[in-house]
Amino acid sequence: MEGNCIEIKNLTKKYKKFTLDNVSIDVPYGTVMGFVGENGAGKTTTIKAILGLLAADSGSVQVMGEEAYNMSGATKEKIGVVFDVPPFPPALNAKQMNKIFRGMYKNWDGEKFFKLLEKFEIPTDKKLKGFSRGMGMRFSIAQALSHGAELLVLDEPTGGLDPIIRSETMDILRDFMAEDEKNTIFFSTHITSDLDRLADYICFVHKGKVVFTEERNELMEKYRILKCTDEQLSLIDKEDIIGMRKGRFASEVLTNAADKYPDIAADVPNIDEIMVYFISKDGE
């Protein structure tokens, strides 16, 4: 399906000690956008703007062709949301929540909900306040996937999950993407290894600003870490150095121009390393 499921244009939101500054992100239908950055970088503020939970000071956010802050009920029903902290009544259990969800969503699928709970090993009679963080996240994911959503907005959905459950969750999210060509995921996380398995695009935000938005595969092909002696470092053009770490005996340089330096050993960086080098100032 052509077009963008989410369009964020020059979004700015100012707080006392933080500003989300002129952020622009396009998320095409049928893709997974990995949204990464350190704590306090602006990820949750951006997600709240996408969900229409805050008004921008300037710029615009459109979701499925509608202004996010004035989104219709019909469009809201097409969005499945997983927050870092699940927002469900702690005194209720899964069976009771199923009845509430059935009244909230026109397309609620109770059978699918309970199948997911069983897969995630979530008890249906236990009060939510007795859930661990991991159980709460798994419950939220099951809820988000059980009402016919076409867009999933996930804020740190695998936080608190053990590696096995995280792997199963990634499999379920891949199944969601395979169900319909228009299904889309906006996935905020600090566990970047999850994005290696799922994301089509990576958007990196730092101190309220977008540093880059790249196709994940191109990102891995584009950048290299050069491991060089002081003599080799002196041969690298400054404009080719994106970030640097200086060691006692050698230096490491992130570059997108590794082909210019065939005599210097080069490694393929992971997403975490690319982020760190992009925000490094003096390589220390």
- The pTM of the full predicted model, rounded to 2 decimals, is 0.91
Q: Which residues, listed in sequence order, are joined to residue 81 by a DSSP beta bridge?
A: 153
Return d(Cα 127, Cα 262) in angstroms, integer.
Answer: 61
* Residue 284 scores a pLDDT above 50: no
Give CA–CA dist 49/71, Å, rounded.
Answer: 11
Q: pLDDT tens for residues 6-51?
A: 999 999 999 999 999 999 999 999 999 999 988 889 999 999 999 9
Edge-to-edge strand order for the sheet containing 79-82?
79-82, 151-155, 184-188, 32-36, 201-206, 209-215
Cβ count within 10 A of residue 281: 7
Residues 122 and 33: their CA atoms lie apart, in Å, by 28
Banded model confidence at residue 191, pLDDT cuts 50, 70, 90: confident
Residue 204, pLDDT above cutoff 80: yes
Chain segment 76-123, per-residue pLDDT in tens: 999 999 987 788 999 999 999 999 999 999 999 999 999 999 998 999
* SS3 state at 228: strand
Across the chain, mean pLDDT equals: 92
- Which of 126, 26, 44, 27 lies closest to 85, judged by CA? 44
Task: Check residue 281 and give its pLDDT.
Answer: 54
Q: Can you tell me the mean pLDDT for 130-137?
A: 88
The domain 4-218 is placed in CATH, from the list 1.20.1740.10, 3.40.50.300, 3.50.50.60, 3.30.360.10, at 3.40.50.300
SS3 34: strand
Q: β-strand 243-246 against 79-82: which pairing, if any?
A: unpaired
Report how far residue 101's alpha carbon sits from residue 257's, in angstroms, rounded to the nearest whole number. 52
Could you read off the pLDDT of 225-274 as tens digits, one per residue? 999 998 999 999 999 999 998 877 789 999 999 999 999 999 999 999 99
Helix 133-144 to helix 110-119 angle (10° resolution) is 150
pLDDT of residue 282: 41
Q: Buried b / exposed e across 128-155, counting CB within 10 Å, b at 16+? A: beebeebbbbbbbbbbbbbbebbbbbbb
- pLDDT over threshold 50, residue 283: no
Q: Name the pLDDT band for 215 (thresholds 50, 70, 90).
A: very high
